[in-house]
Structure 1
Amino acid sequence: MPSIMIADRDPNERTGIGWLVSSCAIPYEKVLSAGTMAEVFQLMESQTPDVICLELDMVGKGQWDRLKLLVDQYRPTVLVTTAEATFERAMQGIELNARDLWVKPQTPEYIRRVLTRCCQDQSYRMQMSQETTGVTGRAGEVSYLDLFFPRPLHGRTYPIMLAQLEDPKHHPELLRFFEDYPFRDKPVLLPLGDVIVGVFPDDTHEPQTLFHQTGKRLLMDWEAMSDAPLFLVMYDSKEREQSLNEKYLDAIQALHIRFFKGYRQLTIVERQVNWTMIDPFLTPSEQRLWVDMLHGGDPEVLKQWMYRHFSYKEEPYPEPGLLRIRLTSILAQVRRYMKSHGLDNGDLEQEYHRVFETILYSPILYRIVAEMLLFIQRLMDLVQNQREEVRVDVIEQAIRYMERRFTDSGLRLEDVARHVDRSPAYFSTLLTQKQGTSFRQLLTSLRVKEAQRLLLETSLSVGEIAERSGFVNANYFSKIFKEKTGTTPRLLRNQKKR
């Protein structure tokens, strides 16, 4: 038997209509009562009454869209009441597909006749539904065999739903959610290893928009109660010759759209997904470009290239498997870059294999791209550090060489640059950048420092000290020594004696 909800702000109105239903023996199984729109929404979703007697004046502006969505989803027989006989109220009743509009006050006899007729109509509809609907959880007409074998459906067109969570461990929780959900037409639920399949009753008169609205409500209600990301496919092909197995295979293909959209999304399909075929390998020019970008060391350039080539906003999408191959083709160029800089070992080698597995198995494209960019950024940073270390090593080698050879009065910039395998101009620039001094200044500083030591620690003549310190002659030595220390070699020695 059908149920009825009486929604009115006035408790006397609710009580009066409820008394009329019971006293006149109108065969409603349940009589529900709601005094606020919050109660109306709660009862519509939890109890799904077959008939609703609703006071229009209680509906707020912000509640109208939700009310229409619930009426479209659950398809109750709607009766509306109002104290204002206005055109606006009449239009609201039309928007809800109301069976009747009552202007208060209305006679009990008229209310009784309308409620009785609505009850009879609902009873008849329920009876016809039970006789003609082929899919119910109890009847078992649709089963796993229909999913995996192309069995005929005798002209029926069952809509199908595929639900997949990012973490399959939460699928039992999702299954309980579906089992308790107040569907207008309960689907047969067929849980598989990584997806839950729902097969809805065949209803050739049901508009596709209502089926789509069911999907939107499901996703919204699931996210209101769970943090587990859900991807939902609603497949509603009207091809009457298509078996449920064919529909299931098409829906499985549509499930791969999450590769581009991510989770927390609803995809609505009415036909087989047509993937775009692409060349999965980099062209020779693209390979050269990647070599240049990697050795150029600018991660922003790489990032923009990846975003241009792997940001897909709308259909048609490329076939996901081919896209994964293309990403591995890019990773091959990164591998060569690693080897050329001796980075294919230890933790970096393990991280490379982890990125490779991410490309093969991650369900979401943007995560793969993000992982690759982070890995490439780390490689570039390490290569840059290597270059800095090499520059520092070059200067240290040069200084050590000069410290061993500064006593040679013929030591030149070209000699030191040749020792560290650099051009004289590049070495001179690098020395100035790292030490803040020129080659000639550094060499003179080493020689003067040695001369000071010899003056204070030995009794050698000034001429002998000049020669041992690498100066050409004593006069030049004395001139440079005074410029650098502010005193002459002889005065420094005399100060030591005093």
Structure 2
Amino acid sequence: MYNVLVADDEPRHRRGIADMIKQLRPEYRIFMVKDGLEALRIIEDNRIDIILTDIRMPNMDGLTLIERMESRRERVKIVILSVYGNFEYARQALQLGAFDYLLKPLAFPELSGILDKLDTALEKERLSLQDGAVLRQRLSSAAPVYEQHLLSRWMRSASSEEELQEIRSLFPAVSGGFVMLAKFRKREVAESYTLEDFEELKTSVKNWMKEIYQTVGPSLSFNLEGADPMIGSIVTSTHSLEWLLKRDMEQFRQFIRQVRDEFGLTLTLGAGNWVADLYSEAPQSFEQAQKALEYTFYTGAGQLVLFDEIAYNPDKPSLKMVPADTGITDALARLDRDTVAQALKTLIGRLLEGDCPSPAHLKDCVLYALVNEVKGSELFLRQEEVSNFISEMEFQVPACESLDEVEQRAAFYLNRIMDSIGERKENKSGRTISLCKAFLEAHYMEDLSLEYVARQFFFSPAYFSSFFKQHTSLTFTEYLLRLRMDKAKELLQDGDLKISAVALSVGFRDAGYFTRVFKRETGLSPEEFRKKDIL
């Protein structure tokens, strides 16, 4: 059984969320509070496992609550509740360590799914805590933390002279060699492993790598500090890297497959060039290995990439390559999805002409183009939509791990922009047509022309004619005539009203012409219609 705290300043929302959780998880114990301060008071006296909190609350909002929980180092899973226009706050919450976020109003399927994810995560933590002491002892004996820190600083050219002397003690009598990096997919690791389990996994991988390198020369593998889950290897050898890899390429491929089969993780290897003096040039080989890993953005992950074989210019300034007119803006305004898709492919094709830019540069360029398209469509979008689109794109596009993902993400946002534009235009068109109909209802008895009515709504006659038929399925003339005939039928029910008076009342100056038109439209003359109606 888990203890759940629901924080929302709206009593109805608070009670509704609690009732839904109770239906989905009857065994849960639920606390309800109206703001972050009340939440902290409850947490002081009770063990809380899960918090579902609104972002905007009085006294203490959801973001502040997350920060306070982080400072207390409480092992609590926090889910943010956010409305559509508040994605920027949800993004901040995720960066502060929130477990996930849900959009309000909540639906049962979404809430059920997040509760399943929470159950899985909490159970993994419970199991890992039971074996934590033994695991930490094994890790500390396998890879000293200080040694990893020392080597990470060396690779990034951040070592002091004293640290460099310590590094020399790790590689006695060494000369040439190269650096290889092994990178795991961050999402796969986060979805499948706790921190402790992944540390144990890396220990196994480092042991395998040591076996692979032993035929080449002495090596040292270590956990590389940084945001990405990576293992660095410094391999000493008197042979060139090209000679070594031709001989052992299949062994590396087998190693990548083994990691996939054993652990369900995609492993990518990036190798820097062989250098004659590892002490002074290892950081250079390390940087090359990083750029080799970056190139899998174009080629795909799960393989060995050599720096010498990559075909891109990491320093290419892609932002200067953005065409002034991509054709996307006009196609968006016309809601022409096929043209938008083709223009996007053309844009990315231009960015890839010649030497491909670095993945970071390309993603910046695509993001820049998307933001410009959103800003260029501001007239057709609500202000909150503009802000939300930009916030989401600034978060999602840089996180893309491949060129295909960038293209898919860009297409996704361009289609969402068109959906919003189309909805806004449809709503605006509906209001305009309603006003046109109301105008005709009030003035049908006057001498009206399409040109005159078009001017009343600031349209050109040609556009108004097309617009009117598109939204009523009738031409302007057909609609006005049908309206006048309907009004005439109503007036003819008055047996004392002359036909000429009826004709004049519905906009006909000539009673004879009115009679001919009425018979053509109804099959009866006005007198015949009146008698039929009376009978």
- Which TM-score tier does this pair reach, normalised by the shorter chain? 0.5 to 0.7
1:195 aligns with 2:263: no
CA contact (8 A) 1:185 1:201 kept: no
CA contact (8 A) 2:221 2:234 kept: yes
Deviations 1:36-94 (A, max 9, x none): xxxxxxxxxxxxxxxxxxxxxxxxxxxxxxxxxxxxxxxxxxxxxxxxxxxxxxxxxxx
* In structure 2, distance between residues paired with 1:415 and 1:461: 30
* In structure 2, distance between residues paired with 1:179 and 1:259: 28
Tell me by how many angstroms 1:249 deviates: 3.5
* In structure 2, distance between residues paired with 1:239 and 1:222: 31
* In structure 1, distance between residues paired with 2:234 and 2:281: 12
**Aligned with residue 406 of structure 2, among 363, 368, 374:** 368
* In structure 2, distance between residues paired with 1:478 and 1:271: 87
Q: How does 1:413-492 map onto structure 2 within 5 Å?
A: 413-492=450-529
- 2:464 partner letter: F
State the secondary structure of the residue aligned to 1:459. Answer: coil
- 2:493 partner letter: L
Which residue pairs with 2:377 in the alignment? Answer: 338
1:407 aligns with 2:407: no
Deviations 1:18-46 (A, max 9, x none): xxxxxxxxxxxxxxxxxxxxxxxxxxxxx
Tell me by how many angstroms 1:162 deviates: 1.1
Deviations 1:341-386 (A, max 9, x none): 224415x633431221233344434322321221012112322343
State the secondary structure of the residue aligned to 2:375. Answer: helix
Q: How does 1:68-467 map onto structure 2 within 5 Å?
A: 145=150, 148=154, 149=159, 154-167=173-186, 168-169=189-190, 171-172=198-199, 173-179=201-207, 183-186=211-214, 187-193=219-225, 194-200=229-235, 202=237, 204=239, 207-208=243-244, 209-235=246-272, 237-240=274-277, 242-269=280-307, 275-282=313-320, 286-287=324-325, 289-295=327-333, 297=336, 298-310=339-351, 317-346=356-385, 349-408=387-446, 410-467=447-504
* In structure 1, distance between residues paired with 2:281 and 2:316: 30
> How has the CA–CA distance of structure 1 residues 455 and 164 changed in structure 2, closer, same or farther, with 3 Å as cutoff?
same
* In structure 1, distance between residues paired with 2:321 and 2:355: 23
> How has the CA–CA distance of structure 1 residues 284 and 476 changed in structure 2, closer, same or farther, with 3 Å as cutoff?
same
State the secondary structure of the residue aligned to 2:232. Answer: strand
Using the aligned pairs only, state the percent identity.
17
Which residue pairs with 1:92 in the alignment? Answer: none
> How has the CA–CA distance of structure 1 residues 230 and 471 changed in structure 2, closer, same or farther, with 3 Å as cutoff?
same
State the secondary structure of the residue aligned to 1:175. Answer: helix
- 2:480 partner letter: L
Deviations 1:97-122 (A, max 9, x none): xxxxxxxxxxxxxxxxxxxxxxxxxx
* In structure 2, distance between residues paired with 1:282 and 1:327: 12
* In structure 1, distance between residues paired with 2:362 and 2:304: 22
- 2:221 partner letter: L
CA contact (8 A) 2:183 2:268 kept: yes
CA contact (8 A) 1:231 1:265 kept: yes
- 1:413 partner letter: L
CA contact (8 A) 1:282 1:329 kept: no
* In structure 1, distance between residues paired with 2:174 and 2:310: 19
Structure 1: segments with no counterpart, 5+ residues: 1-136
Tell me by how many angstroms 1:195 deviates: 1.1
Tell me by how many angstroms 1:418 deviates: 1.6
State the secondary structure of the residue aligned to 2:305. Answer: strand
CA contact (8 A) 1:398 1:417 kept: no
* In structure 2, distance between residues paired with 1:266 and 1:434: 59
Aligned residues: 357
- 1:335 partner letter: V
Tell me by how many angstroms 1:419 deviates: 1.9
Deviations 1:379-421 (A, max 9, x none): 123223433444444433222211111122x222222212222
* In structure 1, distance between residues paired with 2:297 and 2:274: 22
State the secondary structure of the residue aligned to 1:225. Answer: helix
* In structure 2, distance between residues paired with 1:481 and 1:279: 73
Which residue pairs with 2:23 in the alignment? Answer: none
State the secondary structure of the residue aligned to 1:231. Answer: strand
CA contact (8 A) 1:144 1:190 kept: no
Deviations 1:411-440 (A, max 9, x none): 222222122222223322333344343333
State the secondary structure of the residue aligned to 1:267. Answer: strand
* In structure 1, distance between residues paired with 2:422 and 2:143: 67
Greater per-residue helix proportion: 2
* In structure 2, distance between residues paired with 1:366 and 1:492: 69
TM-score, normalised via structure 1 length: 0.62
> How has the CA–CA distance of structure 1 residues 386 and 350 changed in structure 2, closer, same or farther, with 3 Å as cutoff?
closer
Tell me by how many angstroms 1:166 deviates: 0.9
Tell me by how many angstroms 1:229 deviates: 1.8
- 2:396 partner letter: T
CA contact (8 A) 1:234 1:268 kept: yes
State the secondary structure of the residue aligned to 1:281. Answer: helix
